[in-house]
Amino acid sequence: MKIALAQLNYHIGNFEQNTQKIIAAIESAQKAGAELVVFAELAICGYPPRDFLEFEDFIRLCEESLQEVAQSCRGIAAIVGGPSRNAKPEGKNLFNSAWFLADGQVKQVVNKSLLPNYDVFDEYRYFEPAFENRIVEYKGLKIALTICEDLWDLKDDPMYTRNPMDPLVEQGADLMINIAASPFDYDHAQARNQVLHRNMEHYQLPLIYINHIGAQTELIFDGGSVALDVAGKVVAQCPYFEEDLQLVETADLLTTTPERPDFVVPEKLSVIRQALVCGIRDYFKKLGFEKAILGLSGGIDSALTLALAVEALGKDNVRAVMLPSQFSSDHSVSDSEALVRNLGCPADLLPIQNVYEAFEATLAAPFKDTQFGLAEENIQARARGVLLMALSNKFGYILLNTSNKSEAAVGYGTLYGDMCGGLSVLGDVYKTEVFALCREINKDGEIIPENIITKPPSAELRPDQKDSDSLPEYEELDPILKLYIEHRKGPREIIALGHDAALVKRILRLVNLNEYKRFQTPPILRVSPKAFGMGRRMPIVGKYLS
């Protein structure tokens, strides 16, 4: 039997588009000789639908769309992810399901057993776990059909009390098929590979795995859909971050040959770049916007953001605005101009000194007999924000925020100033990673001018200012932040790893004190295992470590 792996980019709640994409893939698979085509988890509505699932109209549209897809399944079967109703009064009203469609109708509905409720996942808020696990039989093939998390609990410290694969294997399964909505982070492809192989080794069955691609606000999906034979060798693998349709023969899954490759895991910097470009592109496309704007300071963060935005949206659709103040260095403008020339995007020069002096004159009475300080620095940042938002409103641009994760972590930014925007591109990228990504972009020739990469980082809000005046060097700061944020290590554990005790306590205090700032930031594209935003929920008024 030929089985098609359909790796597609869905749009949450766009039922017409999702349905037509699925039907088109079914038609293509059928023309190629496939008898079964497999789509991702909650494909019909997109993932994560979140509180849309609380609307009866949304569920009705899911059902109508699935019925329309079923009508196209004549001479071919399909597995499509979508919510289904729980007919029993006990439990939640919905299941997260895989719909098995054939002969123009719904043949079977398989429900997800293990519902993740951690990090970015919130499935137990909406869904009831499966009451039972039954194989799907099709043309003599016995399929152990599972949904994403159902395969992720084979570990020494299981999170759940039962494993849905066990009863399916007892029923004589020939093949595992797992449909997933597994978000990207830079370690996830390796972790996914290990999970898939762990299941294959344990159950001694070949496996087909289907994932989403594309971005849904913060969450980015890389795909990685794959068919693995009985020895865990790759029979077919879809490319990362691309829609694709791959066909495999079940006979090839049930045998193996030495020349078949292993699972391809992408290089970290390259895949982070792909993810950020995908995140920008889909945010604009799915919201119906075309053009972006950002403040270009001459620093490395705004330079990287501009380069990524041009790659995602095209040079004519990204506008760079240089906003020098009286404290800006000459090279802040000249370096920015060099970058703009390299990228070929439109740019404006709007000095803010007159704007700042107008604020200063207006505040002269209440600020009388006080010294220049943080308030005056923040006025400059907010003046820039006002000008950028004015251009955004006037011409329909979306403002891209350029703050990095290191700054966001310790509160090194101005609310309603440099922290404003419609999308945070680098909010999950540490400063040291920003430098590395710039080198990645320049690997085939200089795009980001070398001086932007090598000069000491500075906000340039007062004379001769450097980031290191207020913060530790980023080579010291970032490892401590990563241990605390990504690895959830406490101060004693971090100090025991060799970091200075006073520095650790200072940094962790800054992280927790500035939760109120991060609560007001734009959506952040998630590329790490623990990003600020929907996957990290901290109290603003907590006393712990602050």
Mark whether 201 and 290 lie in a shared domain: no
Residue 522 included in any domain? no
- Cα 71 to Cα 113: distance, rounded to the nearest angstrom: 28
Mark whether 226 and 320 lie in a shared domain: no
- Cα 398 to Cα 274: distance, rounded to the nearest angstrom: 21
Nearest to 221 by CA among 286, 284, 271: 271
Positions annotated as catalytic residues are 41, 112, 148
Mark whether 318 and 199 lie in a shared domain: no
SS3 assignment, position 97: strand
Q: In one letter, which amino acid is 289?
A: F
Mark whether 117 and 218 lie in a shared domain: yes
Residue 109 included in any domain? yes
Residue 262 included in any domain? no
Nearest to 96 by CA among 88, 107, 85, 106: 85
**CA trace torsion 104, 108, 114, 120 (10° rounding):** 10
Mark whether 233 and 320 lie in a shared domain: no
What integer pLDDT is reported at residue 546 of this predicted model?
A: 85
- In tens digits, the chain (546 residues) has pLDDT values of 999 999 999 999 999 999 999 999 999 999 999 999 999 999 999 999 999 999 999 999 999 999 999 999 999 999 999 999 999 999 999 999 999 999 999 999 999 999 999 999 999 999 999 999 999 999 999 999 999 999 999 988 999 999 999 999 999 999 999 999 999 999 999 999 999 999 999 999 999 999 999 999 999 999 999 999 999 999 999 999 999 999 999 999 999 998 898 888 889 999 999 999 999 999 999 999 999 999 999 999 999 999 999 999 999 999 999 999 888 877 889 999 999 999 999 999 999 999 999 999 999 999 999 999 999 999 999 999 999 999 999 999 999 999 999 999 999 999 999 999 999 999 999 999 999 999 999 999 999 999 999 988 877 777 777 777 778 999 999 999 999 999 999 999 999 999 999 999 999 999 999 999 999 999 999 999 999 999 999 999 999 998
Judged on CB neighbours under 10 Å (0-12, 13-18, 19+), 398 is buried
Nearest to 133 by CA among 102, 92, 93, 176: 176
Helix (H) or strand (E) holding 502: helix 501-513
Nearest to 5 by CA among 243, 313, 204, 220: 243
What integer pLDDT is reported at residue 350 of this predicted model?
A: 97
Residue 92 included in any domain? yes
- Cα 58 to Cα 15: distance, rounded to the nearest angstrom: 9
Domain final residue pick, 467, 493, 524: 467
Residue 445 included in any domain? yes
DSSP 425-459: SSTTS-HHHHHHHHHHHTTTS-SS-HHHHHSPP--
CB-based contact 86:94 (threshold 8 Å) = yes
Tokens describing residue 530: 């623990």
Domain assignment of residue 300, given as a range = 272-467
Read off the pTM: 0.96
Domain final residue pick, 426, 448, 467: 467
What integer pLDDT is reported at residue 471 of this predicted model?
A: 87
Domain final residue pick, 226, 256, 286: 256
Residue 521 included in any domain? no
Mark whether 210 and 328 lie in a shared domain: no
CB-based contact 77:101 (threshold 8 Å) = yes
CA angle in degrees (0–180, nearest 5) for 320-322-325: 160
What integer pLDDT is reported at residue 328 of this predicted model?
A: 82
What integer pLDDT is reported at residue 27 of this predicted model?
A: 98
Helix (H) or strand (E) holding 170: helix 165-170
Q: What phi, psi does 400 have (nearest 5°)?
A: -90, 125
Residue 515 included in any domain? no
Mark whether 334 and 219 lie in a shared domain: no
Calculate the CA 60 to chain-centre distance: 28
Q: Where are the beta strands (DSSP E) in 148-204?
A: 175-179
Mark whether 196 and 306 lie in a shared domain: no
Mark whether 77 and 188 lie in a shared domain: yes
Mark whether 205 and 352 lie in a shared domain: no
CATH number, domain containing residue 318: 3.40.50.620
Mark whether 177 and 305 lie in a shared domain: no
Residue 148 included in any domain? yes
CATH number, domain containing residue 169: 3.60.110.10
- Cα 3 to Cα 249: distance, rounded to the nearest angstrom: 6
- Cα 9 to Cα 211: distance, rounded to the nearest angstrom: 10
- Count: domains in the chain: 2
What integer pLDDT is reported at residue 166 of this predicted model?
A: 97
Mark whether 298 and 412 lie in a shared domain: yes
